Amino acid sequence: IPVDEFDLVIFGGTGDLARRKILPGLYRRFRSGQMPEGARIIGAARADQDSAAYRKMIQDAIEEFVPEKSRDSESIAEFIKLLEYIPIDATGEGGWKELAAMVRKEVVKAFYFSVGPSLFGDLAERLHKYGIADDQSRLVVEKPFGRDLDSAKALNAVLAQHFDESQIYRIDHYLGKETVQNLMAVRFGNILFEPLWNSQYVDHIQITAAETVAVGSRGAYYDKSGAMRDMVQNHLMQLLCLIAMEPPNEFEPDAVRDEKLKVIRALDPVAQSDIVRGQYSGNADGPSYVEEAENPDSKTECFVAMKVNISNWRWKGTPIYLRTGKRLRARESEIAVVFKDPPHSIFGEQDGRRGNVLVIRLQPNEGMNLRVTIKEPGPGGMRLMEVPLDMSFAEALGPDAEDVPDAYERLIMDVIRGNQTLFMRGDEVEAAWAWTDPIIKGWTERGDKPKLYDPGSSGPEDALMLLHKDGRRWREIK
- Which residues make up each annotated binding site? 12-19, 46, 143, 173, 177, 211, 230, 326
Q: What is the rounded distance in angstroms from the CA atom of residue 78 to the CA atom of residue 35?
A: 12
Number of residues that bind ligand BG6 (CB under 6 A): 3
Which CB atom, from 40 or from 143, has the smaller least distance to ligand BG6? 143
Q: What is the rounded distance in angstroms from the CA atom of residue 117 to the CA atom of residue 160?
A: 14
Show the binding pattern over residues 426-465: x = contacts ligand BG6 (CB under 6 A), - = does not. Answer: ----------------------------------------
Q: Which residues are annotated as a binding site for NADP(+)?
A: 12-19, 46, 143
Which CB atom, from 17 or from 186, has the smaller least distance to ligand BG6? 17
Q: Which of residues 287-316 bind ligand BG6 (CB under 6 A)?
A: none
Which CB atom, from 25 or from 95, has the smaller least distance to ligand BG6? 25
Which CB atom, from 28 or from 55, has the smaller least distance to ligand BG6? 28
Q: State the nearest-atom distance from the C-beta of 251 to ligand BG6, in Å.
A: 23
Select the residue interacting with ligand BG6 from 84, 178, 203, 211 (CB under 6 A): 211
Q: State the nearest-atom distance from the C-beta of 144 to ligand BG6, in Å.
A: 8
Q: Which of residues 322-341 bind ligand BG6 (CB under 6 A)?
A: 333
Q: Which residues are annotated as a binding site for substrate?
A: 173, 177, 211, 230, 326
3-state secondary structure the chain: CCCCCEEEEEECCCCHHHHHHHHHHHHHHHHCCCCCCCCEEEEEECCCCCHHHHHHHHHHHHHHHCCHHHCCHHHHHHHHCCEEEEECCCCCCCCHHHHHHHCCCCCEEEEEECCCHHHHHHHHHHHHHCCCCCCCCEEEECCCCCCCHHHHHHHHHHHHHHCCHHHEEECCHHHHCHHHHHHHHHHHHCCCCHHHCCCCCEEEEEEEEECCCCCHHHHHHHHCCCHHHHHHHHHHHHHHHHHHCCCCCCCCHHHHHHHHHHHHHCECCCCHHHEEEEEECCECCECCHHHHCCCCCCCCCCEEEEEECECCCCCCCCCEEEEEECCECCCEEEEEEEECCCCCCCCHHHCCCCCCEEEEEEECCCEEEEEEEEECCCCCCCCEEEEEEEEEHHHHHHHHHHHCCCHHHHHHHHHHHCCCCCCECHHHHHHHHHHHHHHHHHHHHHCCCCEEECCCECCCHHHHHHHHCCCCCCCCCC
Q: State the nearest-atom distance from the C-beta of 213 to ligand BG6, in Å.
A: 6
Q: Does 178 contact ligand BG6 by CB under 6 A?
A: no
Which CB atom, from 363 or from 421, has the smaller least distance to ligand BG6? 363
Q: State the nearest-atom distance from the C-beta of 254 to ligand BG6, in Å.
A: 25
Q: Does 230 contact ligand BG6 by CB under 6 A?
A: yes
344 among known catalytic residues:
no
Q: State the nearest-atom distance from the C-beta of 53 to ligand BG6, in Å.
A: 29
Which CB atom, from 112 or from 197, has the smaller least distance to ligand BG6? 112
Q: Does 7 contact ligand BG6 by CB under 6 A?
A: no
Q: Pick the catalytic residue from 128, 162, 235, 468.
A: 235
Question: Interface with ligand BG6 by CB under 6 A: which residues?
Answer: 211, 230, 333
Tell me the catalytic residues: 235
